[in-house]
Amino acid sequence: MTLVPWAKDSLPNCLWLCWQVSSEEYFDVFATSKYLDEIETGLGGDRTDFPDNWLLTGKLSDFEAIPEAARSGLLEHLVTVGAYDIIFPEEFAMALAMYPEAPGRWLVQPWLDTGSVIDPAIAERGLRDVVGKALDGRGNVATRAKALLFRQMVKAGRVSFSDKVMTDELMEAFRKYPRDADDEQKARVESHVRAAFLAMESMSDGELEWPARFWRANWNLYACQLSKTEPAPEVLDGRSDEARDSLRELREMVEALWTGFAEAAKTTDPDLYSPHRFEVLTGLVGRALRLVRTIAGYPLMWTMEHGAPVLRALVESRIIIRYLVAHDDPELYEKFRAYGVGHLKLLKLHMEDFIDAAGEAGDGMKNYLKLISAYVNRDQYEEFVSIDVGGNFAGIDMRRMADETDLGDDYRLLFQPASSNVHGEWGAIDMNVFETCLNPLHRDHRVLADSDRTIVGPIFLYDLVDYARTLTEEYFTAVGANHPTGGSHGAEQA
């Protein structure tokens, strides 16, 4: 069995099913089942020249597999009984017609033969609505599309279940679904359907080219949609005339460098079906240049002491990029991302444990936990995210060193997230370098953020100063010095 991502590899083939149930009304599930029955009636009982084991499930690939000789008879039947316009509405025809090589495109030919002009705006409007609702494999639209496919499989006798799985209660729920089932029965049926669909898709023969063509075509067919972001605050550092002159010159140089990079990142095809390589390489360079843009605005950072992290990031990014390009292995890009997402998941688990132990949490921690959870589950459910932890210079990993000094929470909640930024892990890149394209036809792909979007604020500075104060107090205790009690004592010492 192979895991088949719903949005990436199944949704495009189930587009007609999703379209039919996109209103999210249960009646549409029942109505679509009757449409499938009407299509079967139009095809008749003769399956000569049909592929072996062919079954009408509602997938576009199944429509495409219908022999040429049977297609005209089906369309004529649907028109005669007045069902064609309902089963294949004009807006759906516009959408499917945007893809010349789409499986089942012959289904909308009657619309095109009437002289209907393909309107990309109408196509995008319909597709955005349907695909947007169907992207979540656990959502209503996706689940009910799967239920219809499952219904066809059961009706044809292609699947069966033992008495231990298909209990009397579950069987009764299936009989009543969707119109007469209560909420609990609907939930049980749909949970069973999702699991069964995953198993059936995992064991399907071969891979379709259509899902890849669908997603890759969308980058050229439809524009990205970005959120409106606030401009970064103006930098005011630089006290001397020399510093101000250098600051101005460096800003111009860095902005010219950034502008060239940003233009390339926005106009290069990211390969929407498999964008990992583009996103990782863009993220690595984007992160490095963002650091340069920031340090160029702060003259006090122009020393090896303070600027070393930026220099290290530039060298590290260059090494990583050269390594990735030299090996030219798609799995390496996914491993790079998975390593960073695993660290985000670990932070999420530690935060949940910390909140459970404390028995309460402030709004800030709750909101941060919600944010982290969203990034962990962004590309796949966290159940499938693995975690990799490393060591440090002392011969034991930093986590155990922190635990031995009673600073385990400091390590898990502060050090580890900071390390993710220093090392340029995928979690840090994802949160800062990119923003999400809001066009669902682009499958939530990442777009380089053209303005500073680092998630910081005044509370971060307060926490930082607070922690520095605690650190200082521990230092005074360690060296046996007196604790200063106010500013005047500090002035005397100065």
Q: Return the structure tokens found at 216.
A: 């890759």
pLDDT at position 480 is 56
Residues in contact with 376: Cβ distance below 8 Å, sequence separation at least 6, in sequence order: 341, 344, 345, 348, 382, 385
Residues of the chain with pLDDT under 70: 1-2, 203-207, 229-247, 250, 298-308, 312, 316, 320, 322, 389-398, 401, 451-494
- pLDDT score, position 336: 85
Burial 374-388 (b: 16+ CB within 10 A, else e): ebbbebeeeeebeee
pTM of the predicted model as reported, rounded to 2 decimal places: 0.75
Cα gap 120→97, rounded to integer Å = 9
Which contacts qualify for 417-425: CB closer than 8 Å, 24 or more apart? 417/347, 420/340, 420/343, 420/344, 422/309, 422/312, 422/313, 423/316, 424/284, 424/287, 424/288, 424/313, 424/316, 424/317, 424/320, 425/339, 425/340, 425/343
**Given this model, what pLDDT does residue 319 score?**
74
